[in-house]
Amino acid sequence: MKNDSLKGSRRETAALAAVSVVAVAAMCAGPAFAGTDATFNTALARFTAFLSGSGGKIITVLSLAGGVIGLASGRFSVGQVAIPVGVGVGAGTGIPIVTSTVTGTI
């Protein structure tokens, strides 16, 4: 009986702590304005450039190499050919599509 009351007390304490954290965060938070923050623009530009350039080519070649190794091992599947093609198309055209979608939505 005593053990059950301790578990209930711990749950109440955890819930009170969670509510307290949310309340403090709400009081300390400033207003948020969509589209005006440029904190991660540099990182986004570098990552996008990497995937659109040499990074996308490296990922595509590694994916193609994995498919060729799978074919050489004697087990053929359409995925071994389709996945490298999809990775190449995604690296080449997917980045601008996702970037424009996110920019348009935000």
Closest C-alpha to 66, from 81, 50, 49 = 81
Question: Total structural domains in the chain?
Answer: 2
**Pair 46, 15 in one domain:** no
- With b for 16 or more beta-carbon neighbours within 10 A and e for fewer, the 45-65 pattern comes to eeeeeebbeeebeebbeebbe
**Pair 48, 9 in one domain:** no
**Pair 52, 25 in one domain:** no
In tens digits, what is the pLDDT along the chain, a chain of 106 residues?
Answer: 455 554 557 777 777 778 777 777 777 766 656 666 677 778 878 888 887 778 878 887 888 888 888 778 777 777 777 888 788 777 777 777 777 776 655 5
Q: What is the pTM of this model?
A: 0.48
**Pair 60, 76 in one domain:** yes
Q: Which domain holds residue 61?
A: 38-105
**Pair 19, 67 in one domain:** no
**Pair 4, 26 in one domain:** yes
